[in-house]
Amino acid sequence: MAVSQTYWQAKWYTISYRLASIRKRLFKVLSMLIFLIAFTDIANGEDIFVGGNLEQDEVWTSEHTYIVTQDLKVQRHVTLTIEPGVQVKINQGRGIFIYGSLVADGQIGDDIDSIRFVANHQSRWQNWKWKGLIYIGVKETQQNILSYVSISNAETAIDIYVSENITIQHAHIYQNQMLGIAISNSHTVVIENCRIQDNYDGIEIISESSDTTSNIQITHCNLKNDNHNIYLYKKANSILTSNTISDNHIEGANNGIWMDNGGGISTGINSIERNIIINNGNGAGYGLLISLDSVLIKNNIFWKNHIGISYEQNATATSVLNNSFYENYRSVVLSDGSVQNSLTNNTFTINELTFSEIGETDGTFFNHNNLFPFESQENILSNTTADDISIGWNYWNTINGSDIRLLIWDQLDDPALGLVTFYPILTEADTTNPISPPLLVKKQLVNELVSLSWPGNPEEDLSGYRVFYGDFEDYRFTNQLEAGTDTTYILPGVSIHDSIAVTAIDVSSQETGRQVLGHESPFA
């Protein structure tokens, strides 16, 4: 029997209607599922994927983990606020660019819940890096603060370019490929109470393209990195001025602080004050290398560096004042072309090879320093130029001219060299200088107790000694005792194999920062 076309049309219409009805129901179900999934993500604090331009203020809360899948750009006049406890994961090669404001404060009241910026690694075997936090053209009127944050596994953790008024405090910046913090052509950046470690370079400060970098403050930080802990570079015709490195612990890099000059002069003083600069050099480098002019180096402790301070060409009109140089391989080296520099009121104690090598006599002042060599040490001060130099008014731990002559290498040892005149001499240690550490501290086991002994200090303003023991880290001991004015001390409850140190203290009532200010000696 033949079936009409109208029948088939009607049949197809019925089937199409039913299919459409099914599609609508499926769409409703899927929409409901999508809504429930999104709601569940929000309720349970699931990942939120971010990237692109941030055009309006936004707050990231601790209920979520934020994953940066594309470069995130915080636009001008926009503020991104990150609350305590937030974890930000960044995909490979991506970064957060700040043109406006980033406020990431990981502290509420007395509670600290650090904000973490980490690479979005999917397994422990991955070691790729993300770009970092990049500040570009941030203005002084905008608020930018990183506080109680940790940043790791970036190419450069924080990169600040042509920006102003940025504060980084209580941050842990570690295991980044190149730099912990890079600052270029910027002003008024404060880096304080930060731990910057295990990066290739710690902090880099640069001025370039006839621009200025100024008022960068690095204070109360702990820096332990591979190559440079702090690197400053003034490129040709640019200005690097009024920057301060103070009250930091700077340890264990190829170079503690490297101050380089690509040409031209500065227009203000950069200062390095009250720092502990120790164990830098790795057999070839420096605690501090200077190739800038007008640097003030004051009240620092240089301990166990390969070279404490090296003056290169363009190191002009610097002042090294009231520093303590203790157990460095070489303490101070002045290279040819480093003119008009002064070293005054410093204390040099049992440095291994030389205390000072003078390779430039033009305007070089070496006066009112206290020098404490090993008992049989010779040639601690050398004149490596053909010019004569007078370095009177220093204390040599002896008043015997023949003994002092053995401590000097000059024309009398090599006719090609200039003569060093060392009279008049100080007959007593200058008490305005840092007090010296006790020499030749010995520990012995006597009746199963640790007995300490040392020769007395020569300074007239000596008030006594302190004994330290226990864990020693970041130039601190866990325990200390007042030892009085005696030069022997019995220390019960301590192993002969433990780390033990003695310091000398003067009559000053100053307590805060006693060691770097010179009122208490370095650890002997």
| 26 pLDDT higher than 50 | no
| 322 pLDDT higher than 90 | yes
| Band of pLDDT at residue 518, cut at 50, 70 and 90 | very high
Which of residues 155 and 262 earns the better pLDDT score? Answer: 155
Please, which contacts does 339-344 make with residues 24 or more away whose CB atoms are closer than 8 Å? Answer: 339/363, 339/364, 340/316, 340/364, 341/311, 341/315, 341/316, 341/317, 341/365, 342/318, 342/366, 342/367, 343/367, 343/369, 344/319, 344/320, 344/368, 344/369
pLDDT score of 316: 93
For 203, the enclosing helix (H) or strand (E) is strand 201-207
pLDDT score of 9: 47
pLDDT score of 16: 53
Region 256-275: mean pLDDT is 91
Region 109-119: mean pLDDT is 93
| Band of pLDDT at residue 44, cut at 50, 70 and 90 | very low
pLDDT score of 124: 86
What does the alpha-carbon distance between residue 50 and residue 48 come to, in Å, rounded to a whole number?
6
| Band of pLDDT at residue 461, cut at 50, 70 and 90 | very high
| Band of pLDDT at residue 226, cut at 50, 70 and 90 | very high
pLDDT score of 193: 98
pLDDT score of 313: 86
Beta-bridged to residue 468, according to DSSP, are 480, 501
| 19 pLDDT higher than 60 | no
| Band of pLDDT at residue 6, cut at 50, 70 and 90 | very low
Q: What is the pTM of this model?
A: 0.90
| Band of pLDDT at residue 388, cut at 50, 70 and 90 | very high
| 248 pLDDT higher than 70 | yes
Region 170-175: mean pLDDT is 98
Question: What's the mean per-residue pLDDT of the chain?
Answer: 91
Q: Cβ(434)–Cβ(375) under 8 Å?
A: no
What does the alpha-carbon distance between residue 433 and residue 431 come to, in Å, rounded to a whole number?
5
pLDDT score of 27: 46
pLDDT score of 263: 84
Q: What is the DSSP letter of 438?
A: P
pLDDT score of 29: 42
Which of residues 390 and 32 earns the better pLDDT score? Answer: 390
- The first and second tokens of residue 153, run together, are 């596994």
Percent of the chain with pLDDT over 70: 91
| 22 pLDDT higher than 90 | no
Q: Cβ(454)–Cβ(483) under 8 Å?
A: no
